[in-house]
Amino acid sequence: MQLYSSPTTPFGRKVAILIIEAGLQDRVAIATVSGTPLDPGTLPIDRNPLGKIPALILNDGRAIYDSRVICRYLDAQSGAGLYPKDDSLWDVLTLEATADGILEAALLMVYENRIRPEDKRFEPWVDGQWSKITRALDALETQWQDLLNGPLTAAHIAVACALGYVDFRHQTRDWRADRPKLATWSAQMLQRASVLATLPV
């Protein structure tokens, strides 16, 4: 299988971590691509018409995307059990969606400042995206600790990537200040070999 991704995409990082945790390194080759919503560059638009990464090309030539679909597929292929088969699956999927929401808002903040011309930037909109992130982080601190402190799931991977991306692109915003439990959890996740191996550069 071939994965189209980039060292800086947090969505691709989710898949890269899952590949390591599931022991699939020998079964997935990673092709590095890049682009933006304004210029697709080398993004695999012929395989994913949305022009987004990651995209996974299966051995039979089919392409699957987005990161949540790819993670579910690879987990099923490996039998790693990162998506539970009991009723706790719904909590894992909800927490994964929460983490992806953080990523989406953080990425939109980056695009606003990197792609939009300076005279057209709208700071209240950026602040609105950050408000989404802070509400989600508060929920992680107060509502999701039991799951986060349990066995590793795809949701743990997604949250680690979300926090890592906020650190990478929005390091001046101190999300740890009022969230000691989440800060401790993040520090513990950073000790995992899969998380260290996929730090954005």
CATH number at 35 reads 3.40.30.10
- pLDDT at residue 59, rounded to an integer: 95
Can you tell me the distance from the alpha carbon of 156 to that of 189, in angstroms, rounded to the nearest whole number? 8
- pLDDT at residue 131, rounded to an integer: 97
Question: Domain containing 40: what range?
Answer: 2-78
Please tell me whether residues 95 and 174 are part of one structural domain: yes
Find the range with the poorest average confidence among 114-128, 151-165, 170-184: 114-128
Residue 28 lies in a domain: yes
Please tell me whether residues 73 and 95 are part of one structural domain: no
98 contacts 136 by C-beta, under 8 angstroms: yes
Residue 83 lies in a domain: no
Can you tell me the distance from the alpha carbon of 115 to that of 108, in angstroms, rounded to the nearest whole number? 10
Give the relative orientation of helices 10-21 and 154-169 as an angle to the nearest 10 degrees: 140
Q: What percent of the chain has pLDDT over 70?
A: 100
120: pLDDT strictly greater than 90: no
Would the pTM of this model clear 0.75, i.e. be above it? yes
